């Protein structure tokens, strides 16, 4: 029998509930939010709030400039998270997201670059021995190292070895 190739080995890699103890952290790649992103999101959603699309109006606001839609930032967080290696390795074990909480402590401006810092904040078993709950805190961090958005997500994952579940 020959050794599996690197691609086959990676394809077999997976992250399960047991692999994500409280305190586990990782960071995604980053993405810059452009004027085109904001315009496209406004067109797609129909959200043409002047703080997002009217530069003259936004100059007179408390922000002094246009801001990105909060849901655009949350959508970018979802995209950056889904592209991360740990998240891709969870795909085979992920049953779904059961709960989300979202807040925006700071605005995100056109031209800001965000990354997502992810931390496991809770791990608990369920009544089913083959599944467990993981709660993540995901923070969008801009290029000034400010928290622009926080997303709490509780997910249901497969357990690696249900026979030894506690």
Residue tagged 């994500």 (tokens): 20
C-beta of residue 88 within 8 angstroms of C-beta of residue 129: no
> Which tens digit of pLDDT belongs to each residue from 114-158?
999 999 999 999 999 999 999 999 999 999 999 999 999 999 999
**Domain hosting residue 160, numbered range:** 14-34+68-164
Angle between helices 70-83 and 35-45 (to 10 degrees): 110
3-state secondary structure of 89: helix
Q: Is residue 49 part of a domain?
A: no
Residue 93 resides in a domain: yes
Q: Tell me if 159 is assigned to some domain.
A: yes
Would residue 4 count as lying in a domain?
A: no
Instruction: Work out the burial of residue 96: count CB atoms within 10 Å of its CB; fewer than 13 is exposed, 13-18 middle, 19 or more buried.
Output: exposed
- Min mean pLDDT across 79-83, 90-94, 112-116, 125-129 is at 90-94
- In a domain? residue 53: no
> CA angle 121-123-128, nearest 5°?
155
Number of domains in the chain: 1
Question: What is the CB-side half-sphere exposure of residue 109 using CA atoms within 13 A?
Answer: 14
Q: Give the pLDDT mean for 89-102.
A: 83
Residue 73 lies in a domain: yes
Domain-embedded: residue 5 = no
CATH number of the domain enclosing 155: 3.10.129.10
pTM of the model: 0.87
What single-letter DSSP state applies at residue 28?
E
Q: What are the CA-CA distances from residue 157 to residues 101, 125, 133 (Å)?
A: 19, 10, 6
Count of Cβ atoms closer than 10 Å to residue 93 Cβ: 22
pLDDT class of 10 with cuts at 50, 70, 90: low
Residue 20 lies in a domain: yes
């Amino acid at each position: 029998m020959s050794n599996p190739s690197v691609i086959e080995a990676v394809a077999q890699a997976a992250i399960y509930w047991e692999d994500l103890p409280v305190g586990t952290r990782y960071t995604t790649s980053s993405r810059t939010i452009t004027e085109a992103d904001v315009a496209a999101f406004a067109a797609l959603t129909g959200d043409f709030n002047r703080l997002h699309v009217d530069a003259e109006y936004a100059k007179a606001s408390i922000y002094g400039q246009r801001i990105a839609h909060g849901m655009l930032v949350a959508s970018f967080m979802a995209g950056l998270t889904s592209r991360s290696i740990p998240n891709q390795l969870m795909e085979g074990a992920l049953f779904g997201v059961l709960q989300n909480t979202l807040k925006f402590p700071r605005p995100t401006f056109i031209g800001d670059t965000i990354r997502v810092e992810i931390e496991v904040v809770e791990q608990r078993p369920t009544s089913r021995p083959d599944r467990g709950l993981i709660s993540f805190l995901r923070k969008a961090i801009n290029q000034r190292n400010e928290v622009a958005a926080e997303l709490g997500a509780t997910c249901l994952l497969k357990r690696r070895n249900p026979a030894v579940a506690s």
